[in-house]
Structure 1
Amino acid sequence: MSAIDLNSDLGESYGAWKMGDDAAMLAIVSSANIACGFHAGDPLGIRKTVEAAANCGVAIGAHVSYPDRVGFGRRDMDLTPAELAADVIYQIGALQGLATAAGTRVTYVKPHGALYNRIANDPKQGQAVIDGIKAVDANLILMGLAGAPILEQARASGLNVVAEAFADRAYTPAGHLVSRREAGAVLHDTNLIGQRMLRLAREGTLEAIDGSVIRIDAQSICVHGDSPGAVAIAQAVRKTLEADGIDVRAFLRP
């Protein structure tokens, strides 16, 4: 692989409560998953992040979520397909409006938190998300977990997809993310993370938590914007990739 995307979750501050360092991350990443107000973010803060992303030439994605601001979108919800599709449409529409005002556009959709995990293997909710995206713009790309059934489901429904891997998370031998409740689930060593992502880009493989080697087919790498040391991790990943001749760029230019 000669190029790969680097994305991060941004626009998650709310009023006086700051989450992450959007300005620093936008100088590093090539794609920004921007909160749409359902799990985090307020209109003014989201607008500022969208404008900053546009100024940096960073691609903009709608980071859609369950309506769960108190739980930061990390609590599972049993919504009907109609409710979920409408929620997705509403969130994309809100971000599209702010993007238009900033002279840019939304190019992809990445579900957040519990919704991301649920649709990875839940075809019913997955289809609701797909239907919501297509109702707004069938040219929007769906970003999802590498190897998850949702990607093939979206392709079969006519959407283009991008598979992502997580820089700061450990993987099971089956290729799933290790639960945050387990020791070693979140990685912090920037040098180790950089080398892992270089291996991913070069070989399409990662070392699982038990030491086995697993195959991960991913076109994008995510660094969680709210993780401790997120900026340092993103910097290490980009520096390591570029030092080995791998270009960091968005999978679709804004």
Structure 2
Amino acid sequence: METYKDSLLSRCKVLYVEDEEFTREELGFFLKKRVGRLITAVNGEEGLKLAKLHEPDIALVDVRMPVMDGITMCRKMREAGMDCAFIIASALSDSPTILQAVDVGIVKYIVKPLNPNQLLEVLENTAQEIWRRRFKKQAEVKGWSLEREKRLELEKRIKSAVAYFLKSATGKGPRDIQVFLGGGSLEVKAIEVLTLLEQSILASGKNGQLVAYLRHLLYKERGSELEAILGEILSVKVKIRDIQVDVNDNRDGIIFDLS
């Protein structure tokens, strides 16, 4: 089960702009335990200053506020070139206000009073989209354009994670792991993975299909663990697409979809 500390939202800086003190403090207390860093402001003018200082990932903004309203604040942030996801909260649900909000590029318009759990779901989805977009920015249509250092770092972490997973699950770590990133997918090949018992069974000329079945079952039964580990490394959702077990060549291959 995902905890607050494990969620992508826990990596995000969130700017919360609300002029009503009670609402700001109550919801702020709720959010503070669930986001990476919470910054609060009492109006759009203060919010804009804090946004320029802290460069938040997400801005949760009330519409009607003194000094500077929320939509004006968001527009000025956009004009300043800030890459921030805007969530507008307002007691109003009139079309002109919604159209103005859409014009500045909001990701969600929420009518007050806010339900904390529904808001949390919106924030979690927004955080996932932020990290997915950042991850995909590193990719080209047919391959990755990561800087060499970044690519090597990711590959090293993936190899280490897969090796640890296999060692923990079977008692035998692979001799080598090959990693291929590109086109929204990840392919991992683990070489010389068979345990001594599995090799003995194969050497006897019997039950080769059983060995292949059991290794395939391992990835089916415990694949969610591996998906979670790799998702943490890559900051995207990772899902197993295909499992390729070759007992004769003593290697396993797994292809993951990244989204």
Establish whether TM, by shorter chain, passes 0.5: no
Task: Point out the structure with the larger helix share.
Answer: 2
Tell which has more relative contact order, 1 or 2 (C-alpha 8 A, sep 6+): 1
Using structure 2 for the length normalisation, give the TM-score. 0.30
- Name the one with the larger strand percent: 2
The structure having more radius of gyration, on CA atoms, is 2
TM-score by length of structure 1 reads 0.31
